[in-house]
Amino acid sequence: MLKATMRWIDGLNVPATALVRFFIGGLFIWMGWNKVLDPVGFLKQVHLYDTLPVTPGIYLNATAIVLPWLEIVCGVALILGVFLRGSALAIAVMLAFFTPAIFLRAWGIHTTEGTPFMEVAFDCGCGTGEVIIWQKLLKNTGLLLLTLLILFSRSPRWCLSGLFTGAQRCDDAMPAGAPTSEGA
């Protein structure tokens, strides 16, 4: 099943994965930059999730300081095609962590305040302001699937490395042992 899916992705002769990379990379740069512009606001949002201890402060503060830049760095790497699979994995891990956290916080509001789940809305700290949560969860799931598509695609195109090596595919510029079905 996995091999078949990867063959299908690989068979997409159009640079579909490259377009997805640019979209997700740009989105993460934008969302990360919005957080960088308001570090205190983002710190408060992280605190509201109530998942990290308030003392010592290093956990919350380090998250608020580093996470926006991690999103930006991964977004840039994804667009440039540098450390392509590493950045895709990092973004997938972030999405896989954020999405359940957002769901749990929304579910908490739903159960404690009696707000219908489909009407729960708050600023999730995602860098996009207040959002309707079920829509955000749907979007995040879509982004996760697209990121996995990048992660598992075997021959992505349009990478910065290709500019220097003349390689048509990102993996051509890499040492032997390019990602296979066992990869990523």
Q: CA-to-CA distance for 67 and 77, rounded, in angstroms? A: 15
Q: What is the rounded end-to-end Cα distance, in angstroms, of the chain? A: 15
Contact between 115 and 104 (Cβ < 8 Å): no
Extract the tokens encoding 59. 């956990």
Contact between 66 and 90 (Cβ < 8 Å): no
In a 3-state reduction of DSSP, which class is residue 98? helix
> Residue type at 72?
I
Minimum CB distance to other proteins, residue 151 (Å): 8
- Out of 16, 86, 131, 169, point to the residue binding other proteins (CB under 8 A): 86
129 sits near other proteins (criterion: CB under 8 A): no
- Out of 7, 19, 69, 138, point to the residue binding other proteins (CB under 8 A): 69
Give strand pairing partners of 123.
Answer: 130
Nearer to other proteins, 94 or 126 (CB): 94
For every residue of 151-175, DSSP letters joined together read HH-SS-B--HHHHHH--SBGGGGSP
Nearer to other proteins, 14 or 130 (CB): 130
Minimum CB distance to other proteins, residue 122 (Å): 9
- Out of 6, 18, 24, 64, point to the residue binding other proteins (CB under 8 A): 64
Minimum CB distance to other proteins, residue 65 (Å): 5
55 sits near other proteins (criterion: CB under 8 A): yes
77 sits near other proteins (criterion: CB under 8 A): yes
- Out of 17, 31, 81, 87, point to the residue binding other proteins (CB under 8 A): 87
Give residues 5-44 in contact with other proteins (rule: CB under 8 A).
Answer: 36, 38-40, 43-44
- Out of 83, 103, 107, 134, point to the residue binding other proteins (CB under 8 A): 83
Residue 23 Cα distances to 78, 146, 173, angstroms = 9, 10, 23
